[in-house]
A and B are shown apart, each in its own frame.
Chain A
Amino acid sequence: MADSVQHPEMEAEVVIVGGGPAGLACALHLARLYAAQGRSAENILLLEKGRALGAHQLSGAVMDPRGLRALEPEFASDPELGAIPVEDDALFLLSPDHALRSPVTPPPLHNHGNYVVSLNRLAQWLGAKVEAAGVSVFPATAGRELLWENDKLIGVRTDDKGVGRDGRPKSNFEPGYDLFAPVVVLAEGPRGSLTKQLLARCALGGANPQVYSLGVKEVWELPANRFPAGRVYHTLGWPIPPELYGGGWIYGLGGNRVSLGLMTALEYADPATDPHNLFQQFKTHPWMRALLAGGELVRFGAKTTPMGGWYALPPLAGNHWLLLGDAAGFVNSQRLKGIHLALESGRLAAEAIFAGALARYPESVRASWMHEELWPVRNFHQGFEHGLFAGLANAALQMATGGRGLHERYPSVPGHERMRTITTLGDPPPRLTPDGALTFDKVTDVYHSGTRHEEDQPSHLLIADTDICNRRCTFEYGNPCQNFCPAHVYEMVFDEHGAKQLHLNPSNCVHCKTCDIADPYQIITWVPPEGGGGPSYDGM
């Protein structure tokens, strides 16, 4: 069908793919630079695949104000944003039965001066300013394909609308637009689908491969005065196995609500590892159980985070393109923060676009506090490849040597390569059966993510060869897709001959990208479903 369709065209000055903090900061700053010259911002186009700005924005989140302050110095006093100053922070070490409060909070987890925010709300708040500045914002519109002229990126094709499950156009079919622009900004978040196309086509990457963690989050409403607004707790240890990187969080959001979640590195050996189930176990810790008693689940979400740090950054600019925020990999994995870096990358990108010199963007990143912050922790995440204790020892060593540790660059491998076949492993890790009150199955949680997709559309999870799933993977890895997907998209069902067969529930997808990342055969390609589909992360 794709060949016979006429795509309407639109010329633009800049196309920004993704309405998260990076894309919005870029759009806002660029529109303001334009305004100072009396130029209209209407040919700055911003695409957002969620049904509205903010719909797919999920984070913990504790935000370092540095990035936002550069754009909006008075953000802290705006009740529309509702940023809550961190009042109190602590680190807890969990064993299965005990929670030990660390006598000192390690400096990277000091959060005084930072703010508890909802990333969903931040995106809506920034988005309103971006729209008011005259940028053309297109919600419910995904970037589906990059448009090239030889090695020069010339634009983005948006998603076709109204294509049926059989791939045929329905009566309300609307072809995607070809948006042509001299600058394409990819700010798609972690493992962006266009970013993946771009890096593959240009054979680009960082010195180290990018690695990811999956964060599974719930918002709970607790009895009054249980957990104050602005309190920030982090946890290490149980139920994350000691050989794996990860940890939990609980943040006081105000209004008797808390954000709680667990990060699990997608770098595990045992294919039975289930980050959603680990998060459910986390809530059954006696300390957590007491905290949550009498409370109620309000929202759910899941999202990956790039953890590879400075050495995993691909080139940030190329032939008419720029990479921003999580799409590039700007996360400080030691401080577990990236929003400030995403915002600043957007601002610096806007400066370079405005100057008509894209190559200035990577230079200005290197000259900025982003580099100053990320360079000393360039080896932090790699230090955890042999687990928590080795990682903490490495972290101490790196702190003493300005980030270098024993040698300049600690290498790493893509997380999926660490997965081992089931025959080489002992018993799978314990699983918890949800009770429906404190702990929930994936389907119940997905309901609380507000996820919805047009049902009559082709699957947006492209599996290169399902024979590998049904034959090889079943025996080699036991179909880990069922475990790593936090939204029950992947299911193995028995066919009429009693053989296991992969069944997909694409409508459940919360767009976390875990499958694209963690699949040991790398045969799953996540592409955006029809624009407007996906979660609705209100207040997340």
Chain B
Amino acid sequence: MKILVCLKQVPAKDAPLKLNQAATWIREDVSFETNEPDAFALEAALRLKEAHGGEVVALTLGPARAAQVLREALAKGADRAIHLDAGEAAAGAPPLDAFAIAEAVSRAIAGESYDLILTGLQSDDAGYGQTGVILAELLGAPHATIIMQVEPAGERRIKVKRELESGNFQFVEMPTPAVLTIQSGINKLRYATLMGIKQAKNKPLARMTLEEIGASAGLNRQLVHRLFVPSKSKGTTLISGSAKEQAAALVAHLRNDAHVI
């Protein structure tokens, strides 16, 4: 199987975030890491390759620093990588939205035939949950979301397990090529070994710029006008009175103010 894994570099989970001056995005003076669901997508791809053979290609779109997620993917066992270099965004320039990213990826991989394209079900930063789905549409391929398990099911077919609400699952057989968006936590992520890190240096890492494929923020269909930091409003109310009065006051509070009963 030839598998493409789309990985995004996002601000590290514990990075203390601040908004930029225009409050349209965060300030990017933080550490970055591989988007967590994407890391699980990579792991799923590597396991498919180990079990059934094939090739794993890692792809990311982002500035120069984003190549780090590719180096890590190569160190973990991806065979080659593609960096869609978005350059350094001008201050205040909007990040690409899900449509623009999907469009750029579809143009970058035109001419290559993948059996599977895996990506995380959403990014930890923008959280669109749309990029994989739109990419499937642009490629004219079927897709399935929130995938927990993938296995081959005969010639050009796979069987996938989807997570539904309240502990229910759906099993679907579908044709390939297909785009799957992978749920976090479905497997145990491997560590890059020292030998893997050393060998990664000699694996092919292709770079193309957005201009080269004719993509830009001009493709965006969505504009972030303003971000807000949620204001913390934690208050403690002490209810006094007899136990009976306290219970009544508490019920009234839960019903009328908190709206939970």
Contacts and interface: CB of A to CB of B under 8 A. Distances in A.
B190 A172 contact: yes
B195 A299 contact: no
Nearest to A50: B31
Interface string A408-430: 00000000000000000000000
B65 to A, nearest CB: 10
A51 B68 CA distance: 12
Interface string A421-456: 000000000000000000000000001101110000
Contact of B198 (A42, A172, A539): A42
A161 B68 CA distance: 20
Contact of B194 (A51, A138, A452, A536): A138
Interface in A151-180: 158, 161-162, 170-172, 174, 177, 179
Interface string B105-129: 0000000000000000000000000
A138 B12 contact: no
A223 interface: no
A179 B195 CA distance: 11
A538 B193 contact: no
Nearest to A531: B191
A446 B88 CA distance: 30
Given A171-B188, A172-B188, A172-B189, A299 B194 contact: no
Contacts of A299: 16
A161 B196 CA distance: 14
Interface string A114-148: 00000000000000000000001010110000000
A8 interface: yes
B29 interface: yes
A52 interface: yes
A350 to B, nearest CB: 21
B51 interface: no
B254 interface: no
A136 B188 contact: no
A174 B30 CA distance: 29
A162 B31 contact: no
Nearest to A530: B191
Interface in A1-32: 8, 10
Q: Which of A140, A158, A450 has the most CB of B within 10 A?
A: A450
Interface in B1-36: 12-16, 18, 29-31, 33
A452 B13 contact: yes
A538 B14 CA distance: 12
Nearest to A446: B14
A55 B191 contact: no
Contacts of B197: 136, 138
A468 interface: no
Q: For the complex, would chain B's binding face be called helix, strand, loop or mixed by DSSP majority?
A: loop
Q: What class of interface size applies to chain A in its complex with B? A: 20 to 34
Interface residues of B, number: 22
A371 to B, nearest CB: 37
Contacts, number: 60
Given A42-B198, A52-B31, A538-B31, A450 B190 contact: no
A207 interface: no
A538 B15 contact: yes
Contacts of B29: 538-539
Contacts of A51: 31, 33
A8 B193 contact: yes
A451 B14 contact: yes
A447 B16 contact: yes
A298 interface: yes
Contacts of B15: 450, 536, 538
Interface string B164-201: 00000000000000000000000011111111011001
A174 B15 CA distance: 27
A136 B198 CA distance: 7
A161 B191 contact: yes
B191 A450 contact: no
B63 to A, nearest CB: 14
A124 B26 CA distance: 22
Nearest to B198: A136
Nearest to A436: B232
Contacts of A158: 194
Nearest to B68: A52
Q: Which of A140, A161, A177, A536 has the most CB of B within 10 A?
A: A536
22 contacts: A8-B193, A8-B195, A10-B195, A42-B198, A51-B31, A136-B198, A138-B194, A158-B194, A162-B188, A174-B193, A299-B16, A448-B16, A450-B12, A450-B14, A450-B15, A450-B16, A450-B30, A452-B13, A536-B14, A536-B31, A538-B29, A538-B30
Interface of A: 8, 10, 42, 51-52, 55, 136, 138, 140-141, 158, 161-162, 170-172, 174, 177, 179, 298-299, 447-448, 450-452, 536, 538-539
Interface of B: 12-16, 18, 29-31, 33, 68, 188-195, 197-198, 201
